[in-house]
Each structure stands twice: as C-alpha cells, then as structure tokens.
Amino acid sequence: VIDYSKDWPRVENGQGRLLIENSKIEVDSTSAAIDGYKLQKASVSIPDFMSKAPVVQIHGETTVKTRQALEFIRHSPIRGYTNGFTDKTIASGEGTLELQLLIPLTDPSVKVEGKYHFTDNDIDFGEAIPLDKSVNGDLQFTESTIRVKDMVAQIYGGPALISAQTEPDGTIKGKIKGKIDADTWHKIEPYSWLQSFDGAAEWNAEGWIKNGKFDMQVSSNMQGITSNIPAPFNKQARYV
C-alpha cells in the first residue's frame, strides 16, 4: 500500500520490484490498484530521498470503463479542477487513463499531469449539453487546467469537432463546430425537438464553466434545414 497524499486515492495491492540505489528509491509494479481499479503499468520513485525537499514521482496507466474514470475524478482533487462539471455525467464505453503525480514530501502542493483517451464513447453531460455519441479523442489535465483539442463526436446526428481549455481566470471555455443531420437524429432520438425538422445544417456552440455554473450559446443559420413548424417558424431548406 502506498498512501502518498490524504487527498488522493492510495495505491493498493502492489506487487513488483524495489530498487534502492544510492539516494534513489524506485518501485516498478507488475500489478497494482488505485481507487479499486487495476493499473496495467505503475511506478513509484524518489529520485533523491536525501534531498532537503524529496519528491515522490508516481506514474500509472490503465484501461477502464469511462464510468470508472469518472468515479476516480469524483474521488480525487481532479473534481475541484473541473468545478465538479462531470458529477452528473453518464458515459458508456472505454478509455485509457495515464496519470503522473509529483508529490513533494515537505510541501502540500501536488503537481499533476494526466490524459484520458476516449475510445468510441457515448457521453451525456446533462445540463443543456447535447448527447455526444461515438466520442474519440484526448482529455488532458494538470493540477489546475484541462484541455481538449480536436476531439471528434457525433452530435445531433452529424459530425462535430470539440475543443476546450482552462482560461487564466479559471473559467473552462469550450467550443463545438458541428453539422446537424436531422434525418439521422430522428432515428437516434425519435422524440426529440428535431422531429419537426429535416435536412442538414452547420452549427457552432460556445460554453463556459465557472464556479460550478454552466452557460452555453448555440448558433446556426439553419440553411439546409426544412422546418415543419407552423407559420411563422416554417421554412424551406434554401432559406436561412
């Protein structure tokens, strides 16, 4: 058992090789678990335990169900970095989690660098965010930031490109550029508001998360979409 910080889930059931060389301590684990989830690769080292400010370095990788990765986030300080944004998130699919921690033994601050790779996931973030299907891409994070670049998904029946990052003031700002395919969405969500529309059109969205509050703006000229809503909201596809 490695209980390296009171705020982080501890590493348990570790088996591996212990190396002590001069002032260096290193453990390469063939098997271990963190927060109950098995790590395929794990290592713990103190490069110089004779230093006045020794640092514990922990690296781990594992392939898990995305719902398990979300549970790990909820039980660790990562939740604070994301303002609890993923608390209501529901996901299906798997992914690969890579996590590296730098933990000073004489300082309470912890440096974090990690990445979660989504592999063909379906994700429901709740709030007013549309359901994301077939999500593929990387969510990168540190002890104070998150970053998503060129993540791809299917939203409203069409392809979408997602990006997000933490701004200097701590706000998480995200952008989505996509294309509504109403005909495809009818088959996925037969009772959605898009049942009154046919065709396809490009759309854009910007969202902000700050102090646990979420706001989102969506825009589209709707060119290519036919509206079957009664006048004055009906339209033909060629009009904006």
Give 28-58 pLDDT, tens digit per residue: 876 677 766 677 777 888 999 899 999 988 8
Is the pLDDT confidence value at 1 over 70? Answer: no
Longest pairwise C-alpha distance within the chain: 81
Q: pLDDT tens digit string along 86-126?
A: 777 889 999 998 988 888 888 878 888 989 999 999 998 76
Is the pLDDT confidence value at 211 over 80? Answer: no
Q: Do 82 and 108 touch, CB atoms closer than 8 A?
A: no
Rounded CA-CA distance 124/99 in Å is 24
What confidence score (pLDDT) does residue 127 get? 62
Which among 11, 42, 44, 48 is positioned nearest to 26, based on CA atoms? 44
In Å, what is the CA distance from 95 to each residue of 44, 82, 122, 156? 23, 19, 12, 23
What confidence score (pLDDT) does residue 63 get? 87
The confidence band for 2, taking pLDDT boundaries of 50, 70 and 90, is: low
Is the pLDDT confidence value at 139 over 80? Answer: yes
